[in-house]
Structure 1
Amino acid sequence: MKVSPNEPFQLIYTLFDHQYLGYLFESFVIQKDTEGRLTFAHQNISAMNAAEFADGLDEADYELIKQMDSMQADTVVKHFEKKRIKPDDYFLKVFDPKNGDQTKQDEIRAYVERRRAKIMPLIKGKRLFEMGNDGEPAWKEIEVLEDEASVLFHFRRNEENTHYFPTIKHRDEKIEFQYKGAYILCNDPAFIVIENKLYSFQKNVDANKLKPFLNKKFIAVPKKIEDSYYRKFVAPLVASFDVYAKGFDIKTEHHDLKPTLYFSELASTNGQSMELFGSNGNANTDLLQESKILFELKFKYGNHSYKADHFKEVNVHVESEDDDYTFYRIRRNITQEKKYLKFLEESGLALRSSQVTVPLGKAFSWIEDTKKFLQDAGISLVQNGKSIKRYFIGKSEMTLEIKENIDWFDIHAIVKFGEFEIPFKVIRNYILKNIKEIELPNGEIAVIPDAWFEQYAELMAFSDEGNAEELQLQKHHISLVKELTESNLAQINLKGKLLKLQDFDKIDDFEIPQGFMGDLRPYQKAGYNWMRFLRSYSLGGCLADDMGLGKTVQTLALLQSVHSEEEAGTSLLVMPTSLIYNWEKEAEKFTPKLKILNYTGGKREKNIKGFSKYDLVLTSYGIIRQDIDLLKEFHFNYIILDESQVIKNPDSIISKSIRELYSSNKLILTGTPIENTTMDLWSQLSFVNPGLLGTKSFFKKQYQLPIEKKKDEASTKKLYSIIKPFLLRRNKSQVATDLPEKIENVRYSTMSAEQEEAYEKVKSAYRDKIMKEIDAGGLGKSQFMILQGLTKLRQIANHPLLADETYEGESGKLEDISYMLENAIKKDQKILVFSQFVKHLKIVSKYLDGQKIQYTYLDGTTKDRQGQVEKFQNDPTIQVFLISLKAGGLGLNLTQAEYVFLLDPWWNPAIEAQAIDRAHRIGQKNKVFTYRFITKNTVEEKIMHLQQSKKQLAADLITTEESFVKNLSKDDLVGLLD
């Protein structure tokens, strides 16, 4: 009966049980009557005519119709049989009980099952019916349930057998399915119809595990086969599904993942004895043939080890003792396992099925280049196998010196494999004959690095044997000498200043200048000496100490020494705008005698002649860009760049502008000399010492591409040797003995223009209200209004969104917080972020979400506090913990954190100290660096001054905001609201 697409209709899906193919589906359209009810007018719909009823179809319907078409009997026959044959005849033949084709039966059933598996997930949200015996498509409707059911497998062991049965729950209610006429529509994943309801399941349950129980209460497993049954059947169930057991134990074990990379020799040697030197003292060059190395990655959890190609979330091991069985569930960290595989692939070792075979030379070059990264990543490198050959995997190094003689160059080299020194002539013979393995005195086999074959091939070929110790290179090979020297492959005798630069341990100790009002820790004094040393040779440098180690104070000591001299001139200090105030405060504290000009703002006086009146001019990168035509006309003593990574792009306008400035000395400060690529380093060091690293194109070819694309450790070493005298970098671990237990810092933030406008508006309104209330009723009766007003101002100082949800502008403090977070995260450090305002934490969490940075979170509503703590402590991918001060200021042990950020310091320093002590406590191995974020020119900054002036107040350990307010005088309030 034809259905009109112009009249109301309903698309339905109908299932019926085919004699040979099992349950099949068909799609129909049924006409509706004026009441919206289904009529008997219906017609089959297929991909051929579906477009006629497009108004009632969605994308899922088109896919369903397509899949249902492909499983119809005639379509199945056409797929498996090229000859034209009727479906009934074909199936009678293939499925004949005696002479049928079992292989073909299995293929056909699998073909239909695959289509059912595609259909079932799409059927949700659709109307499904059972077909009547008369072919009526809408005979009985089946309710398609949206929510997935769960299956619990039960095992009850007794002295005679083990009973096994499953139970089904849906929406926390047990579903009786046995002896209910239930039938299975799809096996994998399981879909089952029970009393006219279609159920799907969590965890991709295989319906074959339910099928035996449709008409059976349980299965009894005899005791004589229980061991095999437990290991082959029960163990996989325990690994993948929820299991309730009685009579044996199921224990879940959590072990740390320990990746181990095994390597072993794949090809055997020629069987000759291995001796380093022959009887005549010459190298025995007929030792070994190049073989191949097999690498294999395994993941260890406790005593259990798994190949890197078998990824299972849970593995189950069965152990029995005295007739007692225990199932141990080992949870694996599949995400981390895959990261290790990716790490190895990116480092040049692409494993396939957990293994890879690499030629000998390339294998040990890879080990030499990558072993530090393996160690840093936590991957153990272990030699495997029972071969008598034990490989040396320590450090291989060659030191080459070329001395100019009368008519030739003498070549002297020291070759070391770990503690063993090998004669250079021996190595030369091995390289010339392309022999890669050499036996060390302790019996280990060292593999000569491939790089030596490449780097020294010309030198070995051109040189002649001279005296007993040295080789000779004729003077006409001067170009080769120059190339080796410039490439840092050889050293030559140098005189004067450069010689002293190479002997970097002999830097003079310079006196702290008069007028400097601070104390330098030993490592800071060393940094000051280093800067003074460079200045004495008119060389620039990069101070790249870790965040919090005091680059500012070291630089101020240098500037004080410079400007204590007569006619020292004027120095220029360039930085991001947000740091101007920080430098002003630090200079005021440590170098109060220096005359400082703040050359920023729209009202700055653009008169460079006036610079001569000052020791130091502070300005921003933005001002440099705007005023470069003016500033480049002034000759500065020092140009110092703070956060010098701003000029990391040599082609940027600001980088080009900075290079136009003129000075006698240059210095740059950064905690991140390399943010993205090694070209960042070129741009910054080429500013302080032009020509140090050659042209940009030379640097890219010689260093950037080999280091970044090939992970070439040799190129890295070359580069380091060049920059070593001009870059000083200390991290916390290096200077730990010189640091106090806690390093406390204040980070001053500048409000954005919109933020400042919002702050001033609220400040004016509350100032009038508070003063009126005080005049009318005195301070005592104005406490609530005072607290309310100060809290409002404090919120705006953090971020106006805390006080006004409609605010759309920026926050200077949030900008600083995000910058500091990014800095610490890049260095793989963990940070605690405290705030008294949950809303403030939410703002920071929104930023972290946007940057796809994982974090843990704790406030008063957090139920699983310990779970959040353990996640932060134990998961290396989580570096940030957001904590409300009230909920997390006490009772937490967070010793993995190295940084503590206090977003909104306020009333009570003792409360903040307690928060800091979440990280700074017994068990903490790292120094704790604390940063208090203060928005300048707000109540935050002014309250800090009040705390300093009211020492007795601080000593009383005020613990509430109300008690703090009670101790404020009217003059104090006037100052806060001024």
Structure 2
Amino acid sequence: MARPGRRQTGARRTTPREQRRTRRRDLVSVLTAAAREVEAAARRGRVTPGVRATFQAVALMLREERARVLAGAGGADGHRAEQLKRLDGIATVLATTAVRDAGLLALLADDAVVSDAARSRRRELLRELGVEPEPEQAAPAQVATAPAGTGRQVVPQSVVSRQLANPFLAPDFSAAPQRAARPQRLAGWELLGPLLASFERAGGGAPACMALPVPTARFTPAGHELMPHQGQLVAAAAAGHRTFLLADEPGLGKTAQALLAAEAADAYPLLVVVPNVVKTNWAREAARWTPHRAATVVQGDGETVDGFADVVVVNYDVLDRHARWLGDLGFRGMVVDEAHFIKNPTSQRSQHVLALADRIRTRTARPLLMALTGTPLINDVDDFRAIWQFLGWTDGGTPRGELMETLEATGLTPADPGFSAAARRCVIDLGIVRRRKVDVAADIPARRIADLPVELDGPAGRSIRAAERDLARRMVARYETALANRSAGVPDGGIDTELVRRVARAELKEASTAQSGENVFSMMRRIGLAKAGLAADYAAQLARSAGKVVFFAKHVDVMDAAEEAFARQGVRYSSIRGDQTPTVRQANVDAFVEDPDVAVAVCSLTAAGVGLNLQVASNVVLAELSWTDAEQTQAIDRSHRIGQTEPVTAWRIIAAQTIDARIAELVEGKAGLAARALDGSDEEASATADVRLGALVALLTDALGAPAGQGAAAAS
């Protein structure tokens, strides 16, 4: 029986096509009204369970509609753009509302459980649109973002802000290649073992590097220049190659190649996982090679992380506590530096890296994945397993995707004589890039100095920075006292540079005669000791990657600390010190030069800086800075001398944000001045100022609040 007062008609049920047309016309309006209801409730502080159900239902429907429009179901391009703009407006309302209530904010997480009330509310909203809800299907299993056993997880606040800025952006799989069904000809064969064996048994003339295109400089920032071998890899990325095992020897610029490859592939945001010792250097190199891309370094719990940065640098040691949010950030590329760190697939470190790579592959079509290491093999060919799995070439046990297809295309099986060579070529063509210094000697200078800044964390770093502040305050007090005791002050509130130099000289004189207390000499010794472990770690990495390394330090206790670190890591070393007899000294030199198992020569910067022939090594680590460029040059020339067949790289380990960095700049500046004088330049060369004095002048000038550049001028 019809209701009174209501006209009965012969209404028919709408067809599915009409339902979809109605939904497309009215969905945004319905979602906007529902979002505004939630917003009003949050403002009044009355967020009931029903309000939360509406909030989650709107969020679910918003994601679905956005994915549908992005997939091309929104009509003409202009109409689709307008629809996306309106949907983004609703997303903004929900995001700003969620900030008011922690319960709403939790509903935006990818792993948030959809409540029965939210499902019911979603069905109600669909019926308002005249659409009969489809039967619900079981939700797909979540992709793991971290291995089992992950400990305490943190999410930096700036990362939350980034997610709130656009929390409903669905992964874009539109560019994913459509592969045919997996071929079956090799399905019954065990393939990973023969693949690994093909590298173990390769002859001396076997190829070690994929074919690379002509170098490009298209992505190189103004004022910088890539070497040809670097430009080749960037060109490969620009041409569409997306996985690389970059195994160039140290000193050939792998960092720049990776950053510019990401630029060529538009692989941002980019995740970079590195050892702690090179974390700061990666941020500095990112600022140099991709200056228009913001970079951030994850320290500790990530309180200082910039969640909107394009390049996120994190070290292996803290990866466990950040694995979850890193997996959800939406990276389109991932670089693993010193990739031999993940050679053990069962370690937690490796599992986190592999899980993150899998997560990126599920969210991004053809991401850029790069493993950087000068040492792809340390023990045996099994070290390849985890690296190949990270790159997506295998699943840990069998070839997958493109590798399987190329193996099928050979027409061979492991039983055929030519399979080994063909299989090795297939793997190399997936992206193995290996160049040695001797191979590209024409590209690089015969001798170069590379600065490696490191952060001094923990109590030692805090103590050093506090001592530096105390030294600056002491000099400021002396400066202000001298200024107050004279009749004429400094005009316009500026700085009396001559008085600054006199105060610095007085401080330096007292430091040279002091038996105790904190001064510039004791501070540099403490900095050297704090850097010893990091410098030793880097020297050990170099030794594994490129052969023998010469390690220089100024102080005996720094040498002791480095040798203890080498012993813990099982790295054999020779010790060359000033208190040794000539016989002992020569025996240690001979051991380093002649014994292939002695990887490092630990040398005193003053005692071993002259009179030694150590050209068996092409890498030098300067753990502590010299006060003069001449002393530094003499140390480097122990390796860079007649008989050396490879270019020499000297790695200066510099404590960032300390007086150590000032001294490095001053030594470099005085070196340029000396070169101009020796080269007969027309420019008048003034006497080389004492670097120690210059460092104190710069420290005091900065403490007095000089404008940028005035401190450097006063130190000259």
Q: TM-score, normalised by structure 1?
A: 0.42
1:298-331 CA-to-partner distances (Å, cap 9, x unmatched) read xxxxxxxxxxxxxxxxxxxxxxxxxxxxxxxxxx
d(CA) in 1 for partners of 2:234 and 2:558? 39
C-alpha deviation, 1:511, in angstroms: 4.7
1:43-80 CA-to-partner distances (Å, cap 9, x unmatched) read xxxxxxxxxxxxxxxxxxxxxxxxxxxxxxxxxxxxxx
d(CA) in 2 for partners of 1:487 and 1:602? 41
Taking a change above 3 Å as real, the CA distance of residues 784 and 552 of structure 1, as seen in their structure-2 partners, is same
Do the aligned residues in 1 keep the contact of 2:262 with 2:368 (CA within 8 Å)? no
Taking a change above 3 Å as real, the CA distance of residues 975 and 508 of structure 1, as seen in their structure-2 partners, is same
SS of equivalent residue, structure 1 residue 826: helix
Match of 2:682 in 1: none
1:208-255 CA-to-partner distances (Å, cap 9, x unmatched) read xxxxxxxxxxxxxxxxxxxxxxxxxxxxxxxxxxxxxxxxxxxxxxxx
What code does the residue aligned with 1:826 have?
R
SS of equivalent residue, structure 2 residue 230: helix
What code does the residue aligned with 2:560 have?
K
d(CA) in 1 for partners of 2:626 and 2:252? 25
d(CA) in 1 for partners of 2:541 and 2:209? 33
Do the aligned residues in 2 keep the contact of 1:828 with 1:879 (CA within 8 Å)? no
User: Is 1:582 aligned to residue 281 of structure 2?
Assistant: yes
What code does the residue aligned with 1:882 have?
V
Match of 1:220 in 2: none
C-alpha deviation, 1:739, in angstroms: 2.6
User: For 1:451-462, what aligned pairs fall within 5 Å after superposition?
Assistant: none
Match of 1:179 in 2: none
Do the aligned residues in 1 keep the contact of 2:323 with 2:352 (CA within 8 Å)? yes
SS of equivalent residue, structure 1 residue 783: helix
Q: TM-score, normalised by structure 2?
A: 0.56
What code does the residue aligned with 1:521 have?
M
C-alpha deviation, 1:552, in angstroms: 0.5
d(CA) in 2 for partners of 1:822 and 1:512? 36
C-alpha deviation, 1:488, in angstroms: 7.8
- Identify the range of structure 1 (891-900 vs 839-848) with the bigger mean alpha-carbon deviation: 839-848
d(CA) in 2 for partners of 1:767 and 1:547? 38
1:307-364 CA-to-partner distances (Å, cap 9, x unmatched) read xxxxxxxxxxxxxxxxxxxxxxxxxxxxxxxxxxxxxxxxxxxxxxxxxxxxxxxxxx
User: Is 1:790 aligned to residue 510 of structure 2?
Assistant: no
User: Is 1:838 aligned to residue 544 of structure 2?
Assistant: no
Match of 1:655 in 2: 350
User: Is 1:824 aligned to residue 542 of structure 2?
Assistant: yes
C-alpha deviation, 1:934, in angstroms: 0.9
SS of equivalent residue, structure 1 residue 738: coil
Taking a change above 3 Å as real, the CA distance of residues 918 and 583 of structure 1, as seen in their structure-2 partners, is same
Do the aligned residues in 2 keep the contact of 1:900 with 1:931 (CA within 8 Å)? yes
- Of 901, 920, 938, 2:621 maps to 901
C-alpha deviation, 1:959, in angstroms: 14
SS of equivalent residue, structure 1 residue 882: strand
Taking a change above 3 Å as real, the CA distance of residues 786 and 767 of structure 1, as seen in their structure-2 partners, is farther
What code does the residue aligned with 1:907 have?
W
- Of 647, 655, 659, 1:939 maps to 659
SS of equivalent residue, structure 1 residue 632: helix
d(CA) in 2 for partners of 1:938 and 1:484? 56
Match of 1:529 in 2: 235
Taking a change above 3 Å as real, the CA distance of residues 628 and 523 of structure 1, as seen in their structure-2 partners, is same
Taking a change above 3 Å as real, the CA distance of residues 676 and 531 of structure 1, as seen in their structure-2 partners, is farther
Do the aligned residues in 1 keep the contact of 2:615 with 2:640 (CA within 8 Å)? yes
User: Is 1:741 aligned to residue 446 of structure 2?
Assistant: yes
C-alpha deviation, 1:548, in angstroms: 1.6
Match of 1:572 in 2: 271
Match of 1:616 in 2: 311
Match of 1:752 in 2: 457
C-alpha deviation, 1:904, in angstroms: 0.5
Match of 2:600 in 1: 880
User: For 1:62-211, what aligned pairs fall within 5 Å after superposition?
Assistant: none
SS of equivalent residue, structure 1 residue 739: coil
C-alpha deviation, 1:569, in angstroms: 4.6
Number of residue pairs matched by the alignment: 453
C-alpha deviation, 1:635, in angstroms: 2.4
d(CA) in 2 for partners of 1:766 and 1:484? 67
- Of 330, 343, 364, 1:635 maps to 330
C-alpha deviation, 1:860, in angstroms: 2.5
Larger helix proportion of the pair: 2
Do the aligned residues in 2 keep the contact of 1:541 with 1:727 (CA within 8 Å)? yes
SS of equivalent residue, structure 1 residue 666: strand
What code does the residue aligned with 2:375 have?
T
1:574-601 CA-to-partner distances (Å, cap 9, x unmatched) read 2233322101111222221223233444
1:781-837 CA-to-partner distances (Å, cap 9, x unmatched) read 3322355611111111121xxxxxxxxxxx4x2332222232233357222222222
- Which structure has the bigger radius of gyration? 1
Larger strand proportion of the pair: 1
User: Is 1:727 aligned to residue 438 of structure 2?
Assistant: no
C-alpha deviation, 1:920, in angstroms: 0.7
SS of equivalent residue, structure 1 residue 887: coil
d(CA) in 2 for partners of 1:502 and 1:887? 41
User: For 1:947-958, what aligned pairs fall within 5 Å after superposition?
Assistant: 947=667
SS of equivalent residue, structure 1 residue 834: strand
1:858-880 CA-to-partner distances (Å, cap 9, x unmatched) read 33322214444344333333332
Match of 1:814 in 2: 532
d(CA) in 1 for partners of 2:687 and 2:619? 26
Larger relative CO (CA 8 A, sep 6+): 1 or 2?
Answer: 2
Taking a change above 3 Å as real, the CA distance of residues 894 and 640 of structure 1, as seen in their structure-2 partners, is closer
Match of 2:635 in 1: 915
C-alpha deviation, 1:755, in angstroms: 0.9
d(CA) in 1 for partners of 2:459 and 2:638? 35
C-alpha deviation, 1:628, in angstroms: 2.6
Match of 1:710 in 2: none
C-alpha deviation, 1:853, in angstroms: 4.4
d(CA) in 2 for partners of 1:515 and 1:853? 39
- Of 271, 291, 294, 1:592 maps to 291
Match of 1:106 in 2: none
Gapped regions of structure 2 (runs ≥ 5):
1-183, 196-206, 404-416, 483-501, 679-684, 706-716
Do the aligned residues in 2 keep the contact of 1:599 with 1:617 (CA within 8 Å)? yes
SS of equivalent residue, structure 1 residue 547: coil
C-alpha deviation, 1:719, in angstroms: 6.0
User: For 1:262-301, what aligned pairs fall within 5 Å after superposition?
Assistant: none
User: For 1:275-674, what aligned pairs fall within 5 Å after superposition?
Assistant: 505=211, 507=213, 510-513=216-219, 515=221, 517-533=223-239, 536-537=240-241, 539-563=242-266, 569-604=268-303, 610-611=307-308, 614-658=309-353, 659-660=355-356, 661-662=359-360, 663=364, 664-674=367-377
1:607-632 CA-to-partner distances (Å, cap 9, x unmatched) read 9xx53xx4323233345422333232
Taking a change above 3 Å as real, the CA distance of residues 718 and 624 of structure 1, as seen in their structure-2 partners, is farther
Match of 1:313 in 2: none
1:513-538 CA-to-partner distances (Å, cap 9, x unmatched) read 253642222222222233334xx15x
What code does the residue aligned with 2:507 have?
S
d(CA) in 1 for partners of 2:311 and 2:260? 13
Do the aligned residues in 2 keep the contact of 1:939 with 1:976 (CA within 8 Å)? no
Match of 1:247 in 2: none
d(CA) in 1 for partners of 2:671 and 2:591? 40
d(CA) in 1 for partners of 2:336 and 2:570? 31
1:130-179 CA-to-partner distances (Å, cap 9, x unmatched) read xxxxxxxxxxxxxxxxxxxxxxxxxxxxxxxxxxxxxxxxxxxxxxxxxx
C-alpha deviation, 1:916, in angstroms: 0.7
- Identify the range of structure 1 (912-921 vs 839-848) with the bigger mean alpha-carbon deviation: 839-848
SS of equivalent residue, structure 2 residue 558: helix
C-alpha deviation, 1:557, in angstroms: 1.9
What code does the residue aligned with 2:661 have?
E
1:911-959 CA-to-partner distances (Å, cap 9, x unmatched) read 1011111111112123222111111122111222344566776667999
Gapped regions of structure 1 (runs ≥ 5):
1-477, 490-500, 700-712, 800-810
CA RMSD of aligned residues (A): 4.0
Taking a change above 3 Å as real, the CA distance of residues 655 and 715 of structure 1, as seen in their structure-2 partners, is farther
- Determine what percentage of the aligned residue pairs are the same residue: 24
d(CA) in 2 for partners of 1:486 and 1:858? 46
- Identify the range of structure 1 (927-936 vs 952-961) with the bigger mean alpha-carbon deviation: 952-961
d(CA) in 1 for partners of 2:562 and 2:262? 37
C-alpha deviation, 1:686, in angstroms: 1.4
Do the aligned residues in 2 keep the contact of 1:872 with 1:881 (CA within 8 Å)? yes
